[in-house]
Amino acid sequence: MSIVPRRTRAWAGAALAVATLASVVPLLGQSSAGLKPRPTTQPRPTTEARRPDFSGYWAAGRAFRASEKDPSPLPPNTVMLNDAGAIELPSGNFGGLKVKPAALAAALKWKPADDMTLSKACQPQSIVYTMQGPFPFEIDQATELIVMRLEYYDIVRVIYLDGRSHPPPDAPHTKVGHSVGRWDGNTLIVDTTHISASTILNNGLDHGDKVHLIERFWLSADGKTLMARQEFEDPDVLENRGARLVAWDRQTGEHIYPYECDPTFVLNYSPSKK
């Protein structure tokens, strides 16, 4: 758990010909007096309102500043964690999360050295933890999906916006899970299931594979900051729900770089080196 760092012109012409034929056929046989002018172009449906553009590079995640506010009220039985960005809670402090006995015992037993092994050092955490960490990422946005490419462990998220549902409960679980999104005005709401067991907090508290993650993303008024509220629940681990507020600042001309984790770094922390 330790952090180490267009369509072609021919297609368009064919489509126009089909549309023109469709408008003319119903009028054949009518007198010119009965004809009514038709618009040459169809108005854009009001339901296809212009969406906020999240595309681009977003610098390392951080906590909200004092001037930044969450416009939505916190749901009942939900506690706000204050560990976004580089902040980490000390051992035994779970930020107000009500941890069930078995999960609590495991968390209290955990030691940082448990993960400082060659087999574990380069295993990424799930998006429950990584999305709130101090890591940059890039967004590629299309009409029916959004792709988030994190620098941390080269994690890639795909958020489907085409109306599909989650797969069956027994479908494979991964560290990024299965994400579906929808627009609520200018806010993107992302619902994620099928996340494999991993980290909640960097002090030993883990979630199971039944964790459910909901995220709300929106832009600041000037469009320079991407803001989010993360909410999660896990019936096997928690009695209540957790939430976090995270912000990323837009930077032009920047790109993410390969993470290239080398597990041998843990050898520098072995007891024999001390």
Q: How far lies 134's CA from each of 44, 151, 170, 244, 254, in Å?
A: 40, 10, 32, 13, 16
Contact assessment for residue 223 and residue 253, using Cβ atoms and an 8 Å cutoff: no
For 22-59, the pLDDT digits (tens) are 443 343 344 334 434 444 444 344 345 689 999 999 99
170 DSSP 8-state letter: T
Is residue 147 scored above 70 in pLDDT?
yes
Q: How confident is the model at residue 226 (pLDDT cuts 50, 70, 90)?
A: very high
Is residue 81 scored above 50 in pLDDT?
yes
Is residue 122 scored above 90 in pLDDT?
yes
130 DSSP 8-state letter: H
Predicted confidence at residue 271, as pLDDT, reads 62
Predicted confidence at residue 49, as pLDDT, reads 64
Q: CB 137: neighbour CB atoms within 10 A?
A: 22
Query: Where is pLDDT greater, at 269 or 24?
Result: 269
For 198-212, the pLDDT digits (tens) are 999 999 999 999 999
- pTM of the complete model: 0.81
Q: How far apart are CA 71 and CA 64, in angstroms?
A: 13
Is residue 216 scored above 90 in pLDDT?
yes
SS3 206: strand
Q: How far apart are CA 89 and CA 53, in angstroms?
A: 33
Is residue 1 scored above 50 in pLDDT?
no
Average pLDDT, the chain: 86
Q: Nearest CA to 141 among 161, 127, 155, 126?
A: 161
Is residue 274 scored above 60 in pLDDT?
no
